Amino acid sequence: MKIVVIGGGAAGLGAAGAAKGANPNAEIVVYTEFADVAYSPCGIPFVHGNEIESFETLFLATKEQYVQTGIDVHYETTVTSIDTDARTISVEGEGEVNYDRLVLATGWLYSDPGLAGSDLEGLYRVKDIRAAMEWDKVIEQSKSAVIVESGFIAMEMTSALRHRGLDVTLVDPGPYPMSDVADPEIVEPVRQQWEDMGVDLQWGNNVTAYRGNGKLTHVETDNGDVEADIAIIGTHKTPNNALAEAAGIKVGTTGGIIVDSHMRTSVDGVFAAGDCTEIPHGVSNVPLQGLSGSHAYAQGKTAGVNAGGAEREYRSVYVPWGMLAGEWMLGGVSFGEVTASALGLEFVTGTANGITRARYYPGVKPITVKLLADPASRKLIGGQMVGGEGIKERADFLGMMTRTGIRVDQIATMENVYSPAIGALNEPIAVAAQNLLAKL
């Protein structure tokens, strides 16, 4: 059997490895437009911020390792079309290539609102590691930057560029950072920190054009011009699905490929995984697009197992998330109050301000936990957190609570570890649940 994977990111490589595991005799070919696979693009902002020493450390495996595991990766190779009836793809420089099973893992692109000057030199769309290496030299020569919209990567780039000493202006149409995913009081410490760091924060403002003579010199906005050597494009992720759409594979309302629980697309023999798909949210059933690298990897593995002829299911997602934003960590699961309200969900909230270790133990950090529950079922529908440590683990916890439908009553009486150096007497998740219950 020949399994072809289009895309060399977390989903594509996850699929290739899992397909080989499920079917060791299968021929596995991966096509990627890029010069590399198997690196961690999520690390790029931290190299720019000098938190990580070099881009080289982001590579997970060498090309030789893929050869040895029997996965044939074709680098810098563009697939131009798919014929799902003939089960072939057209590959630049290779012609028609047949497949028995195809996995689409074509990933995402930054949403492009088509502004004037979008092709100027100086607009940085953080994504590819080779480009990042070149951009790092540009950053070194730059004095000023505009961050266009406060998505996850843009948030990390804001901290990174201030570390590098650039003047940074953040232009975002929302009223506060990450307003489409986070509640205002949760993200406030991050906003305050950037203000303290001297970032020029322009909320409720829109970029309207990029100007310059070949190279960016300033960004036009609703509220006037901002001089900038570079602009970091932090617009939303959109699925990279031109190939799939042209081949007649069904995409959903988000533009993501519609997949079933086995990551099968609408066309027989074709699977999809990662940021090019859409996945139903477990609470709302709203299709979601543009999840995390761990989702892409898990979806890829599911697609690969099934493409290889074994069986694995992928479930609805509840999307625990987390990130470092300067000195703070942000995280949560599913929805905050803003999103839940927008979706018309009924909910009750409970918030607790706590600490991560005993109050007197060195390194103790503040942490705020806000929970949302359905008043009828008393099950969690989401949560948001900001704090100094332990956010990723708590987001995973809340993810599992939401997914398994554990009631707030149970969370309110959870047992927790108390040991001065690693945990406080009161777990803030439990206290938030107690405060929520008090309102029911």
CB of 72 to its own copies, least distance (A): 23
Q: Tell me the C-alpha distance between 326 and 423, whole Å.
A: 23
Nearer to its own copies, 243 or 436 (CB): 436
Q: Tell me the C-alpha distance between 328 and 387, whole Å.
A: 6
Binding site for its own copies (CB under 8 A): 10, 40, 42-43, 46, 51-52, 57-58, 60, 292-295, 297-298, 315, 317-324, 329, 331, 358-362, 389-397, 399-401, 403-404, 406, 410-411, 413-423, 425-427, 429
Q: How far is CA 240 from CA 110, 243, 275, 277, 384, in A?
A: 9, 8, 8, 9, 29
Nearer to its own copies, 84 or 435 (CB): 435
Task: Tally Cβ neighbours within 10 Å of residue 24.
Answer: 10
CB-neighbour burial class of residue 62 (10 A; exposed 0-12, middle 13-18, buried 19+)? exposed
Residue with tokens 């009836």: 85
CB of 61 to its own copies, least distance (A): 11
Nearer to its own copies, 91 or 369 (CB): 369
Nearer to its own copies, 8 or 399 (CB): 399
**CA angle (362, 367, 373) in 5-degree steps:** 155
Nearer to its own copies, 272 or 329 (CB): 329
CB of 48 to its own copies, least distance (A): 13
Q: Phi then psi for 359, rounded to 5 degrees?
A: -50, -30
CB of 291 to its own copies, least distance (A): 9
- CA 217 to chain CA centroid, nearest Å: 30
Q: Tell me the C-alpha distance between 99 and 232, whole Å.
A: 39
Q: Give SS3 for 216.
A: strand
CB of 17 to its own copies, least distance (A): 13
CB of 350 to its own copies, least distance (A): 17
Between β-strands 224-227 and 216-221, what pairing exists: parallel, antiparallel or unpaired?
A: antiparallel
Nearer to its own copies, 137 or 359 (CB): 359
Kindly give the residue spans of alpha helices, DSSP state H, lying in 164-220.
Answer: 184-196
Q: Tell me the C-alpha distance between 63 and 73, whole Å.
A: 8
CB of 32 to its own copies, least distance (A): 19
CB of 53 to its own copies, least distance (A): 8
Secondary structure element (H or E) that encloses residue 96, with its range? strand 95-98
Nearer to its own copies, 59 or 203 (CB): 59
Do 161 and 137 contact (CB within 8 A), yes or no? no
Nearer to its own copies, 213 or 359 (CB): 359
